[in-house]
Amino acid sequence: MNAPNDERWLERARALLDDSADNLDAATLSRLNRARQAALAARRKGPGRWAWGAAFAGAAAAVFAVAIALHRQGLPPASTPAASLQPADIDVLTSDDDLDLADNLDFYAWLEKQPAGGPSG
């Protein structure tokens, strides 16, 4: 990249520039120090109070939304069970018939197959 003899004068240029940076006056060094400290202090402070307030409000809104969603999930859906009941089911539930028939269906099926005079044997 650089010509072979560039290195000699570039080395001198580097040394001169280093000297100029090393020999800054005390007032300038003090201002640099203050600038650095101010930049670091701004980082330590982090976001301002308003930013924390906004973050808190956002978090509260998110928690509220999640709570509402969970609450709705826990409730029975509006369409069940009444909306899904068929008329026949309603008849069964509201009739005064003895539910014994349903419970002993096997027995009644067997009884129906028996001759009219009663079981033989």
Partner 1 sequence: MDAEISLMAVFDESRRAVGAGEESRPLDMFLRGVERRALRMAELATGSRDEALDLVQDAMFGFVRHYGGHDGAEWPPLFWRVLDSRLNDWHRRQKVRGRWSFRPDDKNTDEDPIALAPDAREPGPLARMADGEASVALEAALRGLPLRQRQAFLLRIWEGLDVAATAVAMRCSEGSVKTHLSRALANLRRALEAHR
In whole angstroms, the minimum distance from the beta carbon of 30 to partner 1 comes to: 11
Residue closer to partner 1, measured from CB, 34 or 97: 34
56 near partner 1, judged by CB under 8 A: no
5 near partner 1, judged by CB under 8 A: yes
**How far apart, in whole angstroms, are the C-alpha atoms of residue 73 and residue 67?**
10
24 near partner 1, judged by CB under 8 A: yes
Whether the CB-CB separation of 10 and 2 falls below 8 Å is answered with yes
107 near partner 1, judged by CB under 8 A: no
Q: Angle at the Cα of 92 (from 86 to 95), degrees rounded to 5?
A: 130
9 near partner 1, judged by CB under 8 A: yes
42 near partner 1, judged by CB under 8 A: yes
Q: Which stretch binds partner 1 (CB under 8 A): 41-49, 55-63, 80-88, 101-109?
A: 41-49
* HEC per residue, 48-90: CHHHHHHHHHHHHHHHHHHHHHHHHHHCCCCCCCHHHCCHHHH
**How far apart, in whole angstroms, are the C-alpha atoms of residue 44 and residue 33?**
16
CA dihedral 63, 69, 74, 77 (to 10 degrees): 170
16 near partner 1, judged by CB under 8 A: yes
- Residues forming the site for partner 1 (CB under 8 A): 1-6, 8-10, 12-14, 16-17, 19-22, 24, 28-29, 31-32, 35-36, 38-40, 42-44
